[in-house]
Structure 1
Amino acid sequence: MNFEERIDIKAPTEVVFALYSDVDRWASWDPDVKSSSIHGAFATGSIGRLKPTKGPEAKIVFSEVIPLKSFTVQSKLPLCMMQFEHELATTAMGTTALHRVSFSGFLAPIFGRLIGKQIRKGLPKTMAGLKRAAESC
């Protein structure tokens, strides 16, 4: 199960990526994040923590970080992996951001319905917050 949301942002890719890489401040533009942190650099293999506004704090792993292009975060659930992909593309007007959420593993259908429903509902607000933050820089 997966779903995605895309938004056009009138800001350079560097500005949007800087918001992504400032993990401690994700809550300033993402209304579904209460707190977030990273141990070390914003790089592949780093580990962090994320506390959603609804739900328990979770360990996150930055499974892939490609500067100015994308990053992927994974979080383990019982018999399931939840993955958040964030992709940027430069456009004539600025940047297109794409956020994709997927669930895999034995309990993916259950977590996809339980957690995925809430994430899907909040994703447009997250994208709007990213756009506002980037365009106000």
Structure 2
Amino acid sequence: MKFSFELKTKTSVEKIWGLYSDVNRWFAWEDDLEDISLEGEFERGSFGEMKLSGQPAMKFELVSVIRNKEFTDKTSIPDVGDIYFIHELTSENGWTTIRHSVEFVPNNRADSSEDAGFVSQIFSDVPASIFSLIKAAND
């Protein structure tokens, strides 16, 4: 199950990527981020940990990183499933399209209506974070 939001901007892919690839700059566009760390470089296979307001610290793995195109991080919830946070950039005719998606893959079962509620809660701040990302890239 996947929820996505996309927005077009005149902000360059390179400016947006600069905010993505430096996790210490995530505070500029993730309003509920309290703490974040990454072990190693911003590349596939690196692990990190983030703490969001009102949530326990969560470990994540960068499962895909393609410079100036996309990155995906995965958080696994034991006995529940995996949550993928997908960040994609495309450029065409002077416009950059930013798409952020949240995908939930449950362990050993089909998606359920309860999963839709769970994913929608996780996804709820995604549109605001994209607007904040654009603003931070242009400051």
Does the TM-score normalized on the shorter chain lie above 0.5?
Answer: yes
Rounded Cα–Cα distance in structure 2 between residues aligned with 1:13 and 1:88? 7
Counterpart residue number, 2:125: 122
Q: Within 1, Cα distance between the matches of 2:116 and 2:32?
A: 17
Structure-2 change in CA distance of 1:65 and 1:24 (3 Å): same
For residues 53 and 127 of structure 1, the distance between their equivalents in structure 2, rounded to whole angstroms, comes to: 18
Which amino acid in the other structure matches residue 113 of structure 1? G
Larger radius of gyration: 2
Q: Is the 8 A contact 2:3 2:120 kept in 1?
A: no
Change (3 A) 1:54 1:7: farther
Aligned partner letter, 1:21: S
In structure 1, what is the equivalent of residue 29 of structure 2? 29
In structure 2, relative to structure 1, the CA distance for the partners of 1:78 and 1:111 (3 Å cut) is farther
Gaps of at least 5 residues in structure 1 are none
Contact 1:32 1:126 in 2 (8 A): no
Contact 2:28–2:133, Cα closer than 8 Å, also in 1: no
1:104-136 C-alpha deviation (Å, 9 max, x unpaired): 02376445523x232222111111101111222
Change (3 A) 1:135 1:92: farther
Runs of 4+ with >3 A deviation: 106-112
CA RMSD of aligned residues (A): 1.7
Number of aligned residue pairs:
135
Aligned ranges for residues 51-90 of structure 1 at < 5 Å? 51-79=51-79, 80-90=81-91
TM-score by length of 2: 0.88
CA distance in structure 1 between the aligned counterparts of 2:89 and 2:9, rounded to whole angstroms:
10
Query: Whole-Å Cα distance in 2 between the matches of residues 40 and 120 of structure 1?
Result: 27
Provide structure 2 residue ranges, at least 5 long, that are not aligned to the other structure. Answer: none
CA distance in 2, matches of 1:105, 1:36: 25
CA distance in 1, matches of 2:99, 2:23: 18
Q: Which moved more, 1:12-21 or 1:31-40?
A: 31-40
Q: Are 2:134 and 1:113 aligned?
A: no
